[in-house]
Amino acid sequence: MTVLDELGAARYVLLTTFRRDGRAVPTAVWILPAPGGELAIWTGEDTGKLKRIRRDHRVTLAPCTVRGRVLGETVPATARIGDREQTRWAAGRIPRKYGLIGLSVFLGSLLRNRRIGGVAVFLTLADGRR
């Protein structure tokens, strides 16, 4: 199994983004395998991690528990924010992988905001790793 396969199959990954001063900010997130050798995560539109990714595309990824305990190798990656079509694609895949919990996140967003709020972030492993 490749690193890309392992991360895509993980229930959670520890996504680490970086503040302006270089300090790491780790967050356990859901992950999806995406077309073209990428991975995808889902996050709210106004989250700190998204603001940090907009400023600095460098991130690291590691399989982890829901509480963020690392279970495998940490690898560098590059993040990019998905467009509207890619975000729709990811929104359709979250409930497939995460079942009722994934669906409940979207239903809660619909009830609060009258729309599914969030954005997909696509991740490419650094150094051509797969």
Q: Where are the domains of the chain?
A: 3-128
Q: CA–CA separation, 30 vs 121, rounded Å?
A: 11
Nearest alpha-carbon partner for 24 in 63, 73, 66, 76? 76
With 90 as the cut, is the pLDDT of residue 83 above it?
Answer: yes
Q: What is the mean pLDDT of residues 111-130?
A: 76
Nearest alpha-carbon partner for 33 in 111, 122, 103? 122
CATH number of 3-128: 2.30.110.10
User: pLDDT above 90 covers what percent of the chain?
Assistant: 66
Over residues 1-54, the pLDDT tens digits come to 899 999 999 999 999 999 999 999 999 999 999 999 999 998 888 899 999 999
